[in-house]
Chain A
Amino acid sequence: MSLPKVNVVIVGAGAGGGIVAKELATAGLSVVLLERGEWPRYDDHNDDELNSQRTPVLGNPFGPDDKRHRRVVVYNNGSTRVVLPSEGGYNNNAGCVGGGAVSYGAMAWRFMPQDFRLRSIYGEVKDSTLADWPISYDDLEPYYEKAEYELGVAGDYTNNPFCGPRKKPFPMPAFPYNKEALLIEKTATRMGLHPFPIPMLRNSVPYNGRPACIHMRSCVGFACPINAKAGSHNTVLPIAMATGHCEVRTGCVASEIVVDDRGRARSVRYFDAKNRGQEQPADLVVVSASATETARLLLNSKSKLFPNGAGNNNDWVGRNLQGHLYVGAAGFLEDEVYEEAGPGATLAICDFNHGIPGLIGGGALCNEFIPLPYLFTNMRPPGEPRWGKAHKDFQRRYYKRLVRLHGPVQEIPNFAARVSVDPTVKDAWGIPVCRLSGTRHPADFQQGDFLSKQAEAILKEMGATRVWRSGPSPTPSLSGGQHQAGTCRMGDDPKTSVTDRHGRIHQIDNLFVADGSLNVSNGGFNPALTIMALAYWVSHHIKAGWKGSQLR
């Protein structure tokens, strides 16, 4: 059964989709936003570590649930396994209005200007699809700024000489360093490095009607009990809904984008909250369902002109899956550094991002979020007993003395790391599930090795004892994680990209992508703010096209 036609249907109400919904609804377009999850409710899980989105032992607090969702991972040795959403292999993706931004750590990084020109800077890399972005940092700068101001970012780049030029200062002052960061700052400065406060999508002062952070120790992995952490669910979506043009339909799982014989997206088929099949026709369709699910939806949308999935005639959809290899070091100080005031991560060092001889890219290093006790049981120097009295002694002695420096490594895109749809495994609605395969590029391990050694050196210089590196494992591993990106690369050449520079699928004039899938490369930073900026960028061009009536 077909529903009344609307101007826009957006699939996925995360960081990207929420922004597109607001931009288009305030421009007067009628918008339907489909979201597989529900509105997040803090009270349902609050500060329960076993129901944290980062340690979802008893299930994901913010979806997707273990009962209905599945993915398949292909290991390096060719064996496959079906993974549940609460298991590590699923990649920690959330499924709720607001998406991962409900429970993230809220780091608000702009990529550096170099991140958009990797190929020009580093040349061709063997076994890699390394390329320049079709757009530059300067193109995206106004949209970064818009994201920072509309959602709210607290930061201060006075001491960061590596950032790209900005036209306006941060809308909110930076968060102060915690005890751990103050010690790292002293050491790092002495070593000639340039520590500075991490920019955060979190209110350091009351902003846009939302209150200032109250410094919970349980922050990353949890929703904010006072909405100090910004996501589309508590910033732009309320504005979109207030226009009266935007309808958010929760519990709706999109199965297919219907593309007609003229090569235009006509509607989105989905299963509603009562599992009834529905079809929502629209003038244009925007997919913003995260790098894995966006690719899956496109691949599952087969039509006469696109027999291998929408926009996939050149087999580029789902390719170049990137995430972030997280590396660093940890150790213990003589005195306690633990503070009840969270969330922990306050300081960043960006000296190892670009300009390192022999490396492609690099990455940022940050001190870390406070681990809760169960998570801490997995933080041990090599060889430390895992159980018995020694385990208890370790927990008691070292928990409050832990110092950590970690960071995401710029992953080098490769064609073999990919999302495809599994030929046999289906989810509860009978939709073929994602199949993740391929491994990271060898260059990532060099970078990871380098970055973790830098972290180790800083901690040792601080006087930390028993310092151990959490470097890359020597066996090639699957990319992904919650920072996943790159599966619908933007580019000017339809043969080597999925969308054009405005996020429009090549050859399908009214089908857009607006999430991390567009990233040509994923930077040495958490990608949330870039996803938001891209959503503003894509929305801007949709609005421009709408006015020129190219889209109707």
Chain B
Amino acid sequence: MNISHRFKFIYATWFILAIFLVSFGFGGLLWFNYANPQNTCATCHEEVSHVKSWQSSFHRDLHCRNCHGGSLTLNVHALKEHANRIVQHFQPASAETAVHLTEAQVLTLQEACRNCHPRSYADWQSSGHSATYQKIFLDPRHNQMEQMAPECLRCHGMFYDGHIEDLVAPLATNGPWALKDPAKLNQPTIPCLACHQIHGTAAAFRPVQLYVRREKTSIAADLLPITPITRNGQPVKLSHDPTQRLCTQCHAPNAFRELGSQDDRTPCGVHEGLSCLDCHSSHSNSAKGSCATCHPANSHCGLDVEKMDTTFFSKTSKHNIHFVACLDCHPQGIPKKKSESIPKPSAAKAP
């Protein structure tokens, strides 16, 4: 074999190897991108339960890649994470750790939500629940009054990857305060996944699930505890709507479960027993126009309910819609309903 032949041989070997690697690698990526997740993602311990719950969910007709991105669009971070998992798998000392989405992944995923549910997304954007890290953590009025603590992240920034120390400084009541990572400024603190678990099963329709930061998992609203709320020691009647339990998790009373304490908004008085969602729409949280669903334009006393000052901001307001009671407007006793003063047709017929 002369020199040129030897070179040709080496070239050919490298050529075949390169083609092999490219086709093998690309084939693998193609496989992971398009094959049934049962045969790809679910071959890892940590993914089995996720794939199973997805298979019985309302989103089962979508493929993993539709929301999470497929292997053909994988970014470096995801590749690294998968590689780490494989390494970890072969280290006997490591406990299997559950798969969690990073906050960046949660926010990327949110774009997929938006594509199919643009209306709900827009509503959420218009609501207080789309508050950004800047709005929540750099509010001097708040920060002067109360030291920020890990517990803030339970409701504000439940997907935040680090600790409160990593997010904002200083953790003291005298500022000025700044976010350590300016990229966080305009990120939302309560994204879609805070209240929704996309894999929620269709069998027991559970679109509303609270993400519990402590456990790094979502709990369906109907599995959340019912919090007994009391007013002067007496239990307040609560709505049976499980969604309200989710609201209560953040809009919560104090440890003694007193009505109206801390951030509790449980209605009592004339509206006792109503669910939050009877008046507030789920994504925009707006209660505009909700009065009319129950009330005629004028109340029993002839007042236009739509024009009453029903703000909840003042707990002493007589018309605070969460607490207003009959006696607030009728301290002398409740007048008979107008309809009761008119003899009913059936009563007229009676002997």
Bound together: yes
Contact surface of A with B, Cβ cutoff 8 Å: 39, 41-43, 46-48, 206, 209-211, 214-216, 225-227, 238, 339-342
Residues B158-189 near A (CB distance < 8 A): 163-165, 172-174
A209 touches B147 (CB 8 A): yes
Main secondary structure of the interface of B (DSSP, over half): loop
A42 touches B150 (CB 8 A): yes
CA distance A228 to B50 in the complex (A): 38
Main secondary structure of the interface of A (DSSP, over half): loop
Is B90 an interface residue when CB atoms closer than 8 A count as contact?
A: no
Which listed residue (A211, A225, A227, A340) contacts B255, Cβ 8 A? A340
Which listed residue (B150, B173, B174) contacts A225, Cβ 8 A? B150
What 1/0 mask marks residues of chain B from 212 to 226 whose CB sits below 8 Å from any chain A CB? 011000000000000
21 contacts between A and B (CB under 8 A): A41-B163, A41-B165, A42-B149, A42-B150, A42-B163, A43-B153, A43-B213, A46-B214, A206-B146, A209-B172, A209-B174, A211-B149, A215-B255, A215-B256, A225-B149, A225-B150, A225-B154, A226-B150, A226-B151, A227-B149, A341-B254
Is B257 an interface residue when CB atoms closer than 8 A count as contact?
A: yes
What 1/0 mask marks residues of chain B from 280 to 300 whose CB sits below 8 Å from any chain A CB? 000000000000000000000
Chain B residues closer than 8 Å to A214, beta-carbon distance: 151, 254-255
Among B153, B165, B255, B257, chain A packs the most CB atoms within 10 A around the CB of B255
CA distance A225 to B213 in the complex (A): 13
Knowing A209-B172, A209-B173 touch, does A43 contact B150 (C-beta < 8 A)?
yes
A215 touches B257 (CB 8 A): no
A211 touches B147 (CB 8 A): yes
Separation in Å of the A261 CB from the closest CB of chain B?
Answer: 45
CA distance A39 to B171 in the complex (A): 14
Q: What are the nearest 5 A-B pairs in CB distance? A: A215-B255, A341-B255, A225-B151, A42-B150, A226-B149
Chain A residues closer than 8 Å to B254, beta-carbon distance: 214-215, 341
CA distance A46 to B158 in the complex (A): 14
Chain B residues closer than 8 Å to A339, beta-carbon distance: 256
A211 touches B150 (CB 8 A): no
Residues B241-274 near A (CB distance < 8 A): 254-257
Chain B residues closer than 8 Å to A48, beta-carbon distance: 214
B153 touches A340 (CB 8 A): no
Residue of A nearest to B153 (CB): A43
CA distance A209 to B255 in the complex (A): 21
Residue of B nearest to A223 (CB): B150
Residue of B nearest to A209 (CB): B173
**Given contact pairs A41-B165, A341-B256, a sample of 10 additional A-B residue pairs in the complex whose CB atoms are under 8 Å apart:** A39-B165, A43-B163, A46-B214, A209-B173, A210-B147, A214-B254, A215-B256, A216-B255, A225-B151, A238-B172
Separation in Å of the A52 CB from the closest CB of chain B?
Answer: 14
Among B149, B164, B173, B256, chain A packs the most CB atoms within 10 A around the CB of B149
CA distance A48 to B154 in the complex (A): 15
CA distance A496 to B153 in the complex (A): 53
Separation in Å of the B100 CB from the closest CB of chain A?
Answer: 13
Chain B residues closer than 8 Å to A41, beta-carbon distance: 150, 163, 165
Chain B residues closer than 8 Å to A216, beta-carbon distance: 255
CA distance A339 to B254 in the complex (A): 12
Separation in Å of the B80 CB from the closest CB of chain A?
Answer: 22
Residues B116-165 near A (CB distance < 8 A): 146-147, 149-151, 153-154, 163-165
Which listed residue (B149, B150, B174, B257) contacts A340, Cβ 8 A? B257
CA distance A341 to B228 in the complex (A): 13
Chain B residues closer than 8 Å to A227, beta-carbon distance: 147, 149
What 1/0 mask marks residues of chain B from 190 to 214 whose CB sits below 8 Å from any chain A CB? 0000000000000000000000011
Chain B residues closer than 8 Å to A342, beta-carbon distance: 255
